[in-house]
Amino acid sequence: MSKEIVNLEPLAVWENFYKLTQVPRPSKKEEKIQSFMMDFGKSLGLVTEKDKVGNILIRKPATPGMENRKGVVFQGHLDMVPQKNNSTVHDFEKDPIDAWIDGEWVRARGTTLGADNGIGVACAMAVLQSKTLVHGPLEALFTCDEETGMTGAFGLQPNWLNGDILLNMDSEEEGELYVGCAGGINADIEFEYDEVIIPEDVTPFKLVVSGLKGGHSGLDINLGRGNANKLIVRFLKHATRELDVRLAEINGGGMRNAIPREAYAVVLVPTDNISLLKKAVLRYESIYKNELGAVEPTLTFTVEEAEVPKSLIEERVQDDIIDAIYGCPNGVIRMSDGMPGMVETSTNLSTIKSSKGVIFVKCLLRSSVDTAKDDLVEQVDSVFALGGAMVSFDGGYPGWKPNMDSEILAQMKEIYLKKFGRTPAVMGIHAGLECGILGAVYPNWDMISFGPTMRSPHSPDERVNIPSVLKFWDFLVEILKNIPVK
C-alpha cells in the first residue's frame, strides 16, 4: 500500500514524504503537523522554534569548512488542500493519505496527495537529517495555512531568520525557476441610487453577453479574452445616449479572481426605439466578434424580452456608473521589463451587481511592482470618485519584482546547465506566492521558487512525477555545495 513509496529514490525524501502523508494537515487544522515538525527538529538536536502564527523554523549549522557561505533558507508550507472524490470516505483531520505509485507518478487514492507542498517539505527534512551533505548555514522555514490565506507568510516576523537566500520549494514544474510574482489588492466600489418609477410607453428587455472563456484573473489576463462587464457597459453607453434606453438592473461576473464570462442588463426602451435597439445589438455583436472572435469564438450578445422591473436606476447615477465602468482600466496595464512575457501590472473588473438602491463593483488589481500597484489604485479610485462612488481598497499584499541580476539565479542556471545539459526556464507568475509576502518582511533575501513536477494540485487527481523528484533533489544538493561566500 502506501508504504511502497518509501522505496523510491531518493530514499530520504520519500521516507519523509511518507511520514507527512501519515500526519493530517488540512489548512487551518495544522496542530498535528506542527507538533510533528517540532519533534522532528528537536529529535535531530537542532534549534527548533515556532512563532505566534504557527510557522516553524529549524536551524542547522554549516558543515565543516562551509561556515563562510551565505545562509540559505528553505521554505515550504505544511498545510494541504483537503479535496476528495464524492465516493471516497476520508476524514482529512484524522485519516492518513493513501499514496500509491502509478507508473512514473505518485498519487493518492481518492484524495489530494499533499505533494503540494509535502514534497518540498520532505526535501528540506532530508537535508536537515543528512550527515553527509555539504552545506553552509541552513534554516528551514515551514509556513502554515498557505492555501487558505497565507496566514503564516503574513504573520512572519522580521529579525527571526538570519539567511540571505530564500529557496521556496512550492513550484510545480521541474526545470523552471520562478523569480517574480504579483502582489494584489481588492477594490470595492459602491454607487447609491434612487429607485425611479417606470414611465409609460417603455418596453423591458434583457441584454445578455455570454459564451466568453473567463479564466484566472492573473494567470489568464494576458490572453486577450473578453470581459463581459466591459462589453455590456460599452453597449449601454451607446444605448442610453442614442436610443434613450434606461437601466433597471445590471449584473455581471462573480468571483473577484475570475475574468467575467457573463453579464446582463435589464433595460427599458421607448417603444418607438425597439427595432433600433435590436439592430444595435446585432451590430455590437458583430463588432465584438470582429474584435475578439479569434480568442472568443463562442461569444454571443443577445436581446430578449423581459419582465417589467420594479423600478429604474435614477438617470444621473445610471450615466455615472456607465461612464466610470467604461473608463475604468481593465486587463494588462504593463508587461514586465526584466522578464519577457510576464505581466507586470493588470486589473480585472470582475463584478457588477445592482440591488436595492446600490450598485456594487469589484476589481482585483495586481502588480509585481508595489509602486505600480499603488498607482493603479489611484487610477481606479480617481475614475470611480469622479463618478460619485464610494471606493475602498483592502486585502493588499506585496509582489515580488524579478531581479534578473540575482546572484543565486545566475549560480543555479549555471549548475543546472552543467548538470542536465540545458538552461532552466526563468519565469515569473502573475499571481500571488508566499515569496512576495516573505520578501517584503526580509527585503535582503535573494529568492528563487522551484520544485519537482506536479499535476492537478488541489484536486483528487493531484500527482507528483517521480523522476522529477530525483532530479530536483540532485539539483538541490549541488546548489548547496555551491552557495556563494558571504
How far apart are alpha carbons 105 and 124 in whole angstroms? 21
Q: Which stretch binds Zn ion (CB under 5 A): 37-45, 111-119, 226-234, 415-423?
A: 111-119
The reply to whether 116 sits near Zn ion by the rule CB under 5 A is: yes
Cβ proximity of 269 and 203 under 8 Å? yes
For residues 115 and 222, give the distance between their C-alpha atoms in angstroms, rounded to a whole number.
29
Least distance between Zn ion and beta carbon 120 (Å): 8
**Does residue 278 contact residue 303 with C-beta atoms inside 8 Å?**
yes
Position 48 contacts Zn ion (CB under 5 A): no
CB of 39 to Zn ion, least distance (A): 23
Please, which residue, 369 or 464, has the CB nearer to Zn ion? 464
Nearer to Zn ion, 16 or 117 (CB): 117
Residue 153 or 325 having the CB closest to Zn ion: 153
117 binds Zn ion (CB under 5 A): yes
Query: What is the closest distance, in whole angstroms, from the C-beta atom of residue 135 to Zn ion in the complex?
Result: 24
Helix 466-481 vs helix 11-21: crossing angle, to nearest 10: 120
Identify which of residues 115 and 202 has a Cβ nearer to Zn ion in the complex.
115
Contact letters (x/-) for Zn ion, 164-203, by CB under 5 A? ------x---------------------------------
* Closest distance of CB 4 from Zn ion, Å: 25
When the beta carbons of 383 and 437 are compared against Zn ion, the nearer one is 437
Residue 330 preceded by cis peptide, ω within 30: no
58: helix, strand or coil: strand
In terms of Cβ atoms closer than 10 Å to its own Cβ (0-12, 13-18, 19+), residue 33 is: buried
Q: Which stretch binds Zn ion (CB under 5 A): 162-170, 261-269, 393-401, 470-478?
A: 162-170
Q: How many residues in the shown chain lie near Zn ion by CB under 5 A? A: 3
Cell of 421: 545539459
Cell reading at 228: 463581459
- The least CB distance from residue 254 to Zn ion, in Å, is 24
Stretch that binds Zn ion, among 116-124, 137-145, 196-204, 251-259 (CB under 5 A): 116-124
- Quote the CA–CA distance of 295 and 224 in Å, as a whole number: 7
Tell me whether residue 192 is one of the annotated catalytic residues: no
Is residue 79 involved in binding Zn ion (CB under 5 A)? no
Listed ranges 6-14, 163-171, 227-235, 249-257: which one lies at the site for Zn ion (CB under 5 A): 163-171
Strand partners, 176: 425
C-alpha 138: how far from its chain's center? 28
Stretch that binds Zn ion, among 83-91, 104-112, 117-125, 136-144 (CB under 5 A): 117-125
Nearer to Zn ion, 26 or 387 (CB): 26
Write down the least CB distance from residue 368 to Zn ion, Å.
Answer: 19
Tell me how far, at minimum, the Cβ of 117 lies from Zn ion, in Å. 4
Q: Is 146 noted as a catalytic residue in this protein?
A: yes
How buried is residue 356: exposed, middle or buried, by Cβ count under 10 Å (0-12/13-18/19+)?
A: exposed
Binding mask 228-267 for Zn ion (x = CB under 5 A): ----------------------------------------
Classify residue 139 as left (phi > 0), alpha (psi -120 to 50) or beta: beta
The region of 19-27, 114-122, 208-216, 260-268 touching Zn ion under the rule CB under 5 A is 114-122
Here the cell at position 285 is 455583436
150: left (phi over 0), alpha (psi -120 to 50) or beta: left
Q: How far is the CB of 81 from Zn ion (least distance, A)?
A: 8
In sequence order, the β-bridge partners of residue 192 are: 358
Residue with cell 417603444: 271
Least distance to Zn ion from the beta carbon of 77, Å? 6
Nearer to Zn ion, 268 or 454 (CB): 454
Which of the 8 DSSP states describes residue 293?
T
Distance of CA 406 to the CA centre of its chain: 24
- Which of 15, 30, 79, 145 is flagged as catalytic? 79
Which of the following is catalytic: 146, 147, 320, 434? 146
> What is the rounded distance in angstroms from the CA atom of residue 414 to the CA atom of residue 434?
26
Give the Cα separation of 67 and 485 in Å (integer).
9
Nearer to Zn ion, 116 or 173 (CB): 116
Rama region for 348: left / alpha / beta (φ>0; ψ in -120 to 50; rest): beta
Give the C-alpha distances (Å, rounded to integers) separating 9 from 115, 198, 469. Answer: 15, 73, 8
With respect to Zn ion, which residue has the nearer C-beta, 74 or 235?
Answer: 74
Helix (H), strand (E) counts: the chain: 11, 23
Q: What are the residue numbers of the active site?
A: 79, 146
Residues near Zn ion (CB under 5 A) are 116-117, 170
